[in-house]
Chain A
Amino acid sequence: MDVNSAYLSWEAAYRLQQGASLDLRTVPSAVGGNPETRRGIILAKSIPAKKYKIQTGETLFSAKQKCPDLIIVSPNYDLYRQCSEYLKRILTAYSPLIQQFSVDEFFLDFSGMEKLWGDPLSTAYQLKETIKEELGFTVNIGISSNKLLAKMGSELEKPDKVHTLFPEEIPTKMWPLPVEELFGVGRATSQKLRDRGIKTIGDLAQEDPTYLKRFLKSYGILLWNYANGRDNSPIIENKAIPIKGLGNSTTIPFDVDDRRTAQLVLLSLAETVGMRLRRNGFCAGLVSVSIKTSDFLYFSHQKKLYLPVDCTSAIHATACALLDELWHGQPLRHMGLRVSDLCASDFFQPSFFEQSLEKQKRIDKAIDSIRLKYGAGAVFRSAFLHSGLKPLSGGVIEFEEYPMMTSIL
């Protein structure tokens, strides 16, 4: 199941409830960041805005050029989390096994549930209507025998529709679509496929897999299987998804060109990354830093640690060392910090040659519990005073249960 232009629908429904006379979904409108802090991209758009060829991810400026009357509203992530929570609550009545795939996408295992609810197709219609009536927004539901086909089915024709995409319907419903529509085909892969004359999902499905493997490696086989509607990934409850790494990044409202500010930005990211790491009970064995310059050039650098850490300061120290190797003083607009190679924080191999972090761990624990109790801003490092930077940065939704976007079914 997929919510139709999720952020925008939620915003529109909420505004109607608050007494607005205009339904944002009926006019060209979009949810976008704030251009003043340079987060000025389109996050979601209404269906009338789609007619102006406005695309998710483009700048507000270029969207305004395409449609001068476009209404742009700021995002409200708390509202979106609330909507997605309620949506999940409704879904739990329909099946015990639900996977939240992203903020607005869910997989629901209906095996055996027909005894309780009856035919899946009519149940899907009923579910769609319940959501529309209770929560005030529309969804698309795709029904099939595996997750890939269900997802492809939910994206066929929008909004407010139920589609089936069973294996026997693949040649008529899925193969005529352009290859970019296939789950897992992004900008880079689509270019590679188009260069070789593969334009539709059908072309890809009929291609020789060994040929695909030659230029896409094992991913080619996966895509070939997807194009033929083959996928055997199970529906997993979100608790079961193993985290492999975590990171945060931020677009800075101004260009950073001095070392001290850059280090402060890294520190604010290290605070969030460290907190998330500790909350999940991990230590990281690898730290990686990425930067994007004002010319939109992207660089990254990573380092393995001898001793796995979960301390904000230790992560920050490594990140600063990486930054010094990576950065030559170009103005920066975006910085990211990510940790990976995770292991459990209560059981790992310590090292004789590294400084003991016991004291650090204790202070991190104290700070985490203060922040949990009194809010994230209750205590912060004095380095951020008068710096114009937020003491914690990165991330939009403060809970970790599902990935914002993923390529793993």
Chain B
Amino acid sequence: MKVYMRPIESIAWFTQDGIPHPLRYRIQTEDQTYKTVKISRIISRVEEKIAGNRMLIFRCEGEINGLLKIFELKYELSTCKWYLYKI
């Protein structure tokens, strides 16, 4: 997997305890079109506090261009932004 760290648009649902579960995300490709990826499974969720900045890292599985791929999403708590971290 390569570090990508690109901002994405995403849809997630939150549990009563405030834990987000991403459902799908949308990323702008080089030719200015949007590509939507549905997350079929969340493999793991870890919290990191590097430099005191809280982020949740989701290791997910989903279908991209007909292939089942594993990728990581990051959610930054202080800004509520989603990133495609690694793919």
Which residues of B (39-73) have their CB < 8 Å from a CB of A?
48-53, 55
A17 touches B53 (CB 8 A): yes
B74 to chain A, nearest CB (A): 8
| A residues in contact with B85, CB < 8 Å | 19
How many B residues touch A, CB cutoff 8 Å?
A: 12
Query: Is B80 part of the binding interface, using a Cβ–Cβ cutoff of 8 Å?
Result: no
Residue from A13, A19, A137 with most neighbouring chain B CB atoms (10 Å): A19
Q: Is B82 engaged at the interface, CB distance under 8 Å to the other chain? A: no
Task: Among A19, A21, A135, point to the contact of B52 (Cβ < 8 A).
Answer: A135
Q: CB-CB < 8 A to A19: which residues of B? A: 3-5, 83, 85
- Closest residue on chain A to residue B54 by CB atoms: A86
Q: Is the CB of B51 within 8 A of A136?
A: yes
- The residues of B that contact A79 with a CB separation of less than 8 Å are 51-53
Roughly how many angstroms separate A84 CA and B52 CA in the complex, as a whole number?
A: 8
Bound-complex Cα distance A16 to B85 (A): 11
- A82–B48 CA distance with the chains assembled, in angstroms: 14
Taken together as a complex, chains A and B put the C-alpha atoms of A134 and B83 apart, in Å, by 20
Total number of A residues with any Cβ neighbor in B under 8 Å: 19
> Are B50 and A136 in contact, with the CB atoms below 8 A?
yes
Residues on the B chain within 8 Å of A83, using CB: 51-52
Asked if A17 and B3 sit within 8 Å, CB to CB, the answer is no
B52 lies within 8 A of A87 (CB)? yes
B3 adjacent to A82 (CB under 8 Å): no
B54 → A minimal CB distance (Å):
9
A172 within 8 A of B: no
Whether A18 and B52, one on each chain, are in contact in the complex, defined by CB atoms closer than 8 angstroms, is no
Chain A residues closer than 8 Å to B48, beta-carbon distance? 17, 134, 136
15 A-B pairs besides A79-B51, A83-B51, A84-B52 with CB distance below 8 A are A13-B50, A14-B50, A17-B48, A17-B51, A17-B55, A19-B3, A21-B3, A85-B52, A86-B52, A87-B52, A134-B49, A135-B49, A135-B50, A135-B51, A136-B51
Nearest first, the 3 closest Cβ-Cβ pairs linking A and B are A19-B5, A86-B52, A136-B50
